[in-house]
Chains A and B, each alone.
Chain A
């Protein structure tokens, strides 16, 4: 099959959805003329014109507010917030408008917007360009959070998100843009809320997403070949709502769980998944659930500061040994 990188896969999804559905529009900073800060919206302006592909000023609240309004009128806006860290500037629009529109107006409208944003650490760009922001939104009913880890899923999930009738925050880990993988040429939508078992195993369940998924797979490979520990690795793909059934059925089999997420530990999605496992699979557990997260500190600029704070494959390996040795 044909190979694309993560960025190209997203770009293809946008081209195809804009071609097949004239309600899809794109807006954000530098998305039109430049094709996006990371190049994801390349070529859209030339193909679809200034009406449907709009550069905006640095006005995050207006970008999301306008997306909401356009969505109320039947359009399918895909808005870009250049770095996820800037999403604070439109937090109100997302939390108090997009998320609640359908509920507060008694079902008269919906806000089918997609907010694409680059998140995650590893870019040596310090505390305002490195954050993982999903936990800031987990507590908001009405929102959906999608987080692909491969080019294949990036394309399918973006199409799925555009076609979904709910507001979707679409996280693109900035260290994944250059990663490559097989991507079908035709348009396809992957379902929201469905995880995928990336590697079957019997001893330990590892749940991860985005860049950490790749670390989890690397750790699982090493543990299998060097220590004969068989890990089942689950890619969440959707963080909210996350796929309880896939996680619980794996836990039933393994009885041991390592949850991996790049955000600071306190209040991260790992805490929520752990709570669900406690509620619904307590009797299946042979060891306490282990969490692998960032330390509860901001991401510093100097490489040593960033590397120490952000989890890597070794942290995952250690956590797996810990649940095995319990």
Chain B
């Protein structure tokens, strides 16, 4: 069933928001505003928006290191996500985490752990708590194709399989783990099949088709809510930038990048909207302008916000115990 007009326009706004967010981050990293590593999700917007459209209040999400967009989708103000990436005190983690660690527990974003695969074990616990507490919470666990190699992938899927844990594994297969091709790192082309051994069903989807992504995510989420256990949804997509901002990505052919840019998920949704006559160019332009205001507001907020202070380095090391500074 095709999604209705309002839903598709909402997807469009969110995907443009993520795209502009990422472009703005890259621009400001190049200008020297953003220290450290910056992994961008340009090209993967449909995967992020389509799945997170099924995320409901009370659910949990474990984003991965390429998930600024996912962090935006739980409803955290764009300002706070961006300020964190700038290392500012007003960011979600008070500036102590940066791009890889944006977390907002009260909205269900349990944060990324930069040790790949680590969140998969955490996800088992979130899902276990939902079973114990008899809530309907579903846990969304974003991982990349590379992370399939980690031990935690296998240990966690096994647990999810035997305990029927309410988890939706969002396996974003962008073809690469840094320079290593997914096809060189794993013996199966469709990684959704990795769940077979653990009796966790999987489905492989065109990750640049937001409607298809949403349909798969909805089925997986419904299954989890009904208590039928975990599902892997593998979303085939591509990251347009290098592994991190500044990586020249000389390990992949230009031609490949070009082909994938032609499959731009945003352009695809725009064409759908126009073809189905659900919007005209003026309506889409209005959405883009609205997004731009949000981005510019967040940017000003991030630049103007104060940095943390040295006292902040000493907080939250222990509960109820002080740590001494210099």
Contact indicator B115/A88 (Cβ below 8 Å) = yes
Indicate if A296 sits at the interface (CB-CB under 8 A): yes
Give residues of chain B (99-115) contacting chain A, Cβ–Cβ below 8 Å: 100-101, 113-115
A298 at interface, CB cutoff 8 A: yes
Q: Is the CB of A30 within 8 A of B97?
A: no
Within 8 A of B (CB), among A50-84: 55-62
1/0 per position for A282-308, CB-CB distance to B under 8 A? Answer: 000000000000011110111111001
- The answer to whether residues A34 and B325 also contact, given A58-B147, A123-B36 and a CB cut-off of 8 A, is no
Within 8 A of B (CB), among A267-326: 295-298, 300-305, 308-309, 315
Q: Are A126 and B148 in contact (CB under 8 A)?
A: no
Taken together as a complex, chains A and B put the C-alpha atoms of A302 and B302 apart, in Å, by: 13
> With A297-B323, A300-B308, A304-B307 known to touch, is A34 a contact of B179 (CB < 8 Å)?
yes
Q: Does A21 sit at the interface, judged by CB under 8 A?
A: no
Chain A interfacial residues counted at CB < 8 A: 37
Chain A residue, CB-CB nearest to B87: A302
Could you tell me the distance between the alpha carbons of A129 and B244 in the complex, rounded to whole angstroms?
14
Contact pick for B36, options A34, A301, A304, CB 8 Å: A301
Contact A301–B95 (Cβ < 8 Å): yes
Q: How many residues of B contact A (CB 8 A)?
A: 44
Q: Is B3 an interface residue (CB 8 A)?
A: no
How many residue pairs bridge A and B at CB < 8 Å?
A: 132
Q: Which of A34, A59, A88, A305 contacts B150 (CB 8 A)?
A: A59
- Asked if A125 lies at the interface with its beta carbon under 8 angstroms from chain B, I say yes
* Cβ–Cβ contact A55 & B184, under 8 A: yes
CB < 8 Å: which of A34, A59, A302, A315 contacts B96?
A: A302
Find chain A residues with CB under 8 A from B309 CB. 304
From known contacts A55-B184, A126-B98, A128-B114, infer whether A298 and B317 are also in contact, taking CB-CB under 8 Å: yes
Kindly state whether residue B66 has any CB partner on chain A within 8 Å.
no
A119 → chain B closest CB, angstroms: 15
Where the two chains meet, the residues of A that have a C-beta atom closer than 8 Å to any C-beta of B are: 29-30, 33-34, 37, 55-62, 85-86, 88-89, 123-129, 295-298, 300-305, 308-309, 315
Ordered nearest first, which 8 A-B pairs have the shortest CB separation?
A57-B149, A124-B35, A301-B98, A128-B114, A34-B179, A302-B87, A300-B96, A124-B36
| A-B residue pairs in contact (CB < 8 Å), sample of 6 | A57-B177, A59-B151, A89-B150, A296-B317, A303-B307, A304-B308
